[in-house]
Each structure stands twice: as C-alpha cells, then as structure tokens.
Structure 1
Amino acid sequence: MTAIAKAPDLAACLEAGAAKTVERERNPFANLRGAFDATLNFATWEDEANLLSCLREGALGQASTVHPLMQNFDDGGWVAGALRTIQQKRKMRAALPGRTRNYAWVLFRPEREALSEMARLVELGRLSLPIGIRAPLRDAPKAFDHMRRHAPGRALLIP
C-alpha cells in the first residue's frame, strides 16, 4: 500500500501500515499514473480526478470519503445540491480507466465495537488523531475557516 501525504504525516502513514509513502507537495500523481489496482481518497475532493488517473486499466476501483455530497446540500439546498452531486459523481465515473467499474462514495456511521476498539488503541498510544483546533460550538466559524484553509489537524467542536 502506498500513502500520499504531507511531509509531517509520512511517518504516521508508515506506522499505520503503508509500505511506501509519497510526499503530497511534490505532485505525486504524475508519477503514479496507471500504477494501482485500487485507490482510497481520505484527503481532499480536489484530488479525486488525480487519484482516478492512478488506476490501472481494469482496476478494482476507487472509494472516497471526501466527496462533495454534504457541501453541495449546504451550498445549494436539497434539490440543487442533489443535482450537482449526481453530476459530479457521473463525471468521476466517466473518468475511470477502461474496464474499471467500481467507484463509490463512503459515509461512515458509528459502531459501538469499532469506537471501543479505537478508544483502547488511543489509550495504548497506538492511535492518534491530530487536532489542529478545538473550539466551542459558538466559535464554529473558526473551525470551518481552519478546514477551508486546509490547516494541519482536524477541527474539533466541543459543547
């Protein structure tokens, strides 16, 4: 497995199981065209088309956790957001290499067993999630700004 990440995150990718890492800032996609049987996008929607170009002909496919579904609903409402989402997904499906059929957007739902295991791993120091900003709910605009700027670490809203 190859992970593409920002330089400060490369070591964490190796610790998480990546066999190889590629620094994000060095335009890795040009050198990885047609190199993979499957890709997963955990980074940004802006990378989606570039990741599709990294798939081989007849690849298993791609899954993305950073699709524009919720943002489209926020920006355009239910109807316009749904239409834009359908259009964007069709565009990405059309960009798949020949004989590659699988393309999916993934939404997560919490599961008690998985969350318990994650908590255990955090307590053991084997799992961490870098937090870039902690803000009370009343300061949510600061957290959104943090994400828009692609600042390092996640935004955590607390009650």
Structure 2
Amino acid sequence: MKRIALFPGSFDPFTKGHEDIVLRGLRLFDEVVIGIGRNTRKERYFPLEQMIQLIEGAFDDYPAVRVISYDDLTANVAREIGAKFLLRGLRNTTDFEYENGISQVNRYVYEEVETVFLITSPQLAPISSSIIRDLHRYGQQVDEFLPYQLEKVQ
C-alpha cells in the first residue's frame, strides 16, 4: 500500500522551511501532497494560482510531490486522496501547542489519519510566511528564503 502524506497549509508564501519538510517527508512517504487550504479567516497575499505554479515548479524534479488546493476540512481531504498521514513542521513549542490541538481534531474527523511532526531544520527555523509577506510587501528581497523567485513589489 502506498504511503501518502498530505502536507496542508496556506503557504502564503511557500518557504524554504516548507520545502525542507517536503523533501525530508519524501524519505518517509511514497508521495507527499502539498495541500493549499483556503483559510476563511485570512485573505491571501499571493494569488492561489500563482503559488500553485511556483510550488509545482520548485518540485519539477520530484514526481512523488504534487500540489492541490482545497476548501474543506483537512481530514476530509486526506481521506479523499487516500492519505493516512498529515505532515507538519514544527519550529518551536508554540507551533507544537497549536498543531497538537489540530491533530486531535483531525483524528476525530478521520480516525485513521496520523499526524507526523518534523522539527524544522535549525537554519530555517526563523523563517515564517508572515515575515516573508511583510518583507515582500515593503520591497525587500526575499528570494533567499524561497525555493523560487518572486517579482518585487513596485
């Protein structure tokens, strides 16, 4: 049986920290599906279609990685795509507290799903999507934090 992991997030934007989790996840799973969920409490900074294209391009050489978008509970999406695992990265204890609660709810919705936490590589731990958005919004170069290049804000 194929071991499929869903790596869910808003990925606004998808960072080198996210890329690191996916690449390390490929050592554990046969396929990693990057799932860009729609968060009703957040308005996207980077357009969804643009982010899908950029992420797909970053993983061109990895046929075991694919990208989807969804507007549903993460656990329901995992069940639909046949994923028995949710892959998550943890930068710190604050991330753990937040992710732990979500993992419990996901198990409630889809009891066969297991959440696998990978600790972020130390050199990537300070990177967050919100910091990248702020830097980009104010015209700062952010390419060193991303596995692709973005156009600068005018």
- Per the TM superposition, whether the score is higher than 0.5 is no
TM-score (norm 1): 0.29
TM-score (norm 2): 0.29
Compare relative contact order (CA 8 Å, sep 6+) and give the higher one, 1 or 2: 2
Higher helix share: 1
